[in-house]
Structure 1
Amino acid sequence: MGLSHSSSYHSSHVRSVTEYGPVIVKPHSEIYPRLPIYEFMGYDNKSYSPQFELFVQSYQALYDRPCEDVRSYYQVVGLHALPYKAYDGVTGGVHEYKNETDWIKGRYGGYCHHGDVLFQPWHRPYLLLVESLLINEAKRIALQYPDNERKIYIKAANKLRHPYWDWAEKEAIKGIPYAFTEDEFEINTPKGMKKVRNPLKSYILPEDLSYPLEKGRNPTDKPHYKIPGLDRNPFTPAGYPTIRYPNANYEDQYHLLNLNMTIYHPTVFRPGFYQTFHIDNYLHFSNHALRSNGTEMGDYLTAHPKPKLIGYSHFASIETTHDAFHFVAGGPGGHMSYADITAYDPLFFFHHVFVDRLFALWQEIYVTENISVNGTHTLEKFSVVNEHTALTPFRKSKTKFWTATDIRYIEKLGYTYPELMKFKGQDRKKLQAYVLAYYKPDQLQGRRFFAKLTIGTYKIVGSYVIKVFVDMKNACCETPMTSPHFAGLVAVRRKPREGATYFVGSVDITAAMERLGIRTQSHDYFYDVDIKTGKLNKEAIFDVANDINVVACYLDGKEISPKEAGVKKVEVYSLLHDEVDPNFLVENSGQHHYTKEY
Structure 2
Amino acid sequence: MSEPYKITGLKGVYPRREIRDLAEDEKQFCLFIHALQAVKQPDYRPKAARFQDLGGIHGLPYERWSGDPNAPDALPEGLWGGYCNHQSVLFPVWHRPYVLALEQSVGEAAIRIARRWIEDAEHITEEDKAAWTEAAKALRFPFWDWTDKSTETEGLPDVLKPQVFQFELPGSTPAEPILSDPIENPLAFHEFAPTPDGFQDQIFSTSMAKTGAMSYFKTWERTYRWPSSKLNPIEDYVKINKLLRGAKDARGSAKQLRESIGNLFCYPAPGEVPDEHQFPSLWDEFSNTLFESKKAGWGATGCGSIESPHNTVHLVLGGLGDMANNDYAGYDPIFYLHHCNIDRILAFWEYTYHKYWVDSGYYKKDGDGKPIPFTQPEGTWDESNNAPIDRSTSLQPFRTKDGEYWTPDQTRFFNRSSTLDTGYTYPDIVATVNGQERRVKLSDPLPETDQEVHDIRNVIQTHFGVNKKAPVLGPQLKMTYDDGSVPAGHRIVPSYHRFYTFVELVGHAFGGSYSLEVLYKKRVIGSFAVLTRGDATQCASCKVRRKAGGEVRGIVDIPDETLQDIVESESEALATADDLVEALSKLIKTKLTVRLVDAAGNLLADTVARGGVPGIGPSGNNEGRRLEAAITPRVRLQSAGAVRKRDETLESTHDGKPSEADITFFNHADHGDLLEGPVAWLPY
TM beyond 0.5: yes
Q: Equivalents in 2 of 1:405, 1:325: separation in Å?
A: 27
Secondary structure of 1:528's match?
A: coil
- CA RMSD in angstroms comes to 3.5
Match of 2:245 in 1: 262
Preserved CA contact (<8 Å) 2:642 2:663: no
Match of 1:440 in 2: 465
> 1:567 Cα deviation (Å)?
4.7
2:233 to 236, 242, 250: 250
1:60 to 37, 49, 63: 37
Secondary structure of 1:406's match?
A: helix
Match of 1:467 in 2: 517
> 1:27 Cα deviation (Å)?
3.2
Preserved CA contact (<8 Å) 1:211 1:235: no
Q: Deviations over 1:267-287 (max 9, x none)?
A: 531221121121252111100
Preserved CA contact (<8 Å) 1:210 1:236: no
Within a 5 Å distance, the mapping from 1:416-565 to structure 2 comes to 416-419=425-428, 422-423=440-441, 424-425=443-444, 427-440=452-465, 444-445=470-471, 446-456=496-506, 459-470=509-520, 472=521, 483=523, 486-495=524-533, 496=535, 497-499=543-545, 500-511=549-560, 513-514=562-563, 516-519=565-568, 527-528=576-577, 543-556=587-600, 557-560=602-605, 564=628
Q: Equivalents in 1 of 2:506, 2:196: separation in Å?
A: 30
Instruction: Give the alignment's TM-score, normalised by structure 2.
Output: 0.69
Preserved CA contact (<8 Å) 1:60 1:199: yes
> 1:311 Cα deviation (Å)?
0.9
Q: Equivalents in 1 of 2:460, 2:571: separation in Å?
A: 27
> 1:93 Cα deviation (Å)?
1.0
Secondary structure of 1:22's match?
A: coil
C-alpha spacing 1:213/1:26, structure 2 compared with 1 (3 Å): closer
1:83 to 61, 86, 98: 61
Secondary structure of 1:490's match?
A: strand
Preserved CA contact (<8 Å) 1:54 1:141: yes
Q: Do structure 1's residue 289 and structure 2's residue 290 form an aligned pair?
A: yes
Match of 1:221 in 2: none
2:142 to 147, 155, 163: 163
Q: Equivalents in 2 of 1:506, 1:390: separation in Å?
A: 31
Q: Do structure 1's residue 573 and structure 2's residue 551 form an aligned pair?
A: no
1:32 to 4, 7, 14: 14
C-alpha spacing 1:315/1:504, structure 2 compared with 1 (3 Å): farther
Match of 1:94 in 2: 74
Q: Deviations over 1:28-53 (max 9, x none)?
A: 331111111121111xxxxx321111
Match of 2:651 in 1: none
Moved more, 86-95 or 200-209: 86-95
Preserved CA contact (<8 Å) 2:501 2:674: no
Q: Do structure 1's residue 180 and structure 2's residue 160 form an aligned pair?
A: yes
Match of 1:480 in 2: none
Q: Equivalents in 1 of 2:107, 2:408: separation in Å?
A: 23
Q: Equivalents in 1 of 2:645, 2:224: separation in Å?
A: 41
C-alpha spacing 1:435/1:234, structure 2 compared with 1 (3 Å): farther
Preserved CA contact (<8 Å) 1:323 1:491: yes
Q: Deviations over 1:317-360 (max 9, x none)?
A: 000110000000111x2111111100100000000000000000
Match of 2:330 in 1: 343
> 1:374 Cα deviation (Å)?
4.7
Preserved CA contact (<8 Å) 1:528 1:541: no
> 1:545 Cα deviation (Å)?
4.0
Match of 1:394 in 2: 398
Q: Equivalents in 2 of 1:58, 1:110: separation in Å?
A: 28
C-alpha spacing 1:285/1:186, structure 2 compared with 1 (3 Å): same
C-alpha spacing 1:26/1:328, structure 2 compared with 1 (3 Å): same
What letter matches 2:525 in structure 1?
Answer: A
C-alpha spacing 1:228/1:91, structure 2 compared with 1 (3 Å): farther
Q: Equivalents in 2 of 1:385, 1:523: separation in Å?
A: 54
Q: Equivalents in 1 of 2:315, 2:197: separation in Å?
A: 19
Preserved CA contact (<8 Å) 1:233 1:338: no
Match of 2:187 in 1: 200
Q: Do structure 1's residue 381 and structure 2's residue 381 form an aligned pair?
A: no
Within a 5 Å distance, the mapping from 1:101-120 to structure 2 comes to 109-120=81-92
What letter matches 1:434 in structure 2?
Answer: V
Preserved CA contact (<8 Å) 2:267 2:301: no
Preserved CA contact (<8 Å) 1:77 1:344: yes
Q: Equivalents in 2 of 1:388, 1:451: separation in Å?
A: 35
Structure 2 residue runs of 5 or longer lacking an equivalent are: 172-177, 204-209, 247-251, 269-281, 356-360, 362-373, 430-438, 446-451, 472-495, 536-542, 608-626, 647-661, 680-684
> 1:70 Cα deviation (Å)?
1.7
Instruction: Give the alignment's TM-score, normalised by structure 1.
Output: 0.78
> 1:525 Cα deviation (Å)?
9.7
> 1:382 Cα deviation (Å)?
1.5
Secondary structure of 2:639's match?
A: strand
> 1:91 Cα deviation (Å)?
4.5
Preserved CA contact (<8 Å) 2:60 2:199: no
C-alpha spacing 1:516/1:559, structure 2 compared with 1 (3 Å): farther
C-alpha spacing 1:114/1:524, structure 2 compared with 1 (3 Å): farther
Q: Equivalents in 2 of 1:62, 1:228: separation in Å?
A: 38
Preserved CA contact (<8 Å) 1:464 1:553: yes
C-alpha spacing 1:524/1:128, structure 2 compared with 1 (3 Å): farther
> 1:516 Cα deviation (Å)?
3.7
Q: Equivalents in 1 of 2:17, 2:572: separation in Å?
A: 45
Q: Equivalents in 1 of 2:113, 2:42: separation in Å?
A: 14
Secondary structure of 1:187's match?
A: coil
Preserved CA contact (<8 Å) 2:39 2:50: yes
Moved more, 574-583 or 435-444: 574-583
C-alpha spacing 1:87/1:209, structure 2 compared with 1 (3 Å): closer
C-alpha spacing 1:60/1:518, structure 2 compared with 1 (3 Å): same
2:115 to 124, 143, 153: 143
Preserved CA contact (<8 Å) 1:447 1:577: yes
What letter matches 1:284 in structure 2?
Answer: E
Q: Equivalents in 1 of 2:34, 2:464: separation in Å?
A: 33
Preserved CA contact (<8 Å) 2:598 2:604: yes
Q: Equivalents in 2 of 1:85, 1:140: separation in Å?
A: 29
Q: Equivalents in 1 of 2:34, 2:290: separation in Å?
A: 39
Give the count of matched residue pairs. Answer: 521
What letter matches 1:513 in structure 2?
Answer: T
Preserved CA contact (<8 Å) 1:469 1:488: yes
Preserved CA contact (<8 Å) 1:210 1:234: no
Q: Do structure 1's residue 593 and structure 2's residue 671 form an aligned pair?
A: yes
C-alpha spacing 1:155/1:405, structure 2 compared with 1 (3 Å): same
Match of 1:101 in 2: none
Secondary structure of 2:411's match?
A: coil
Match of 1:303 in 2: none
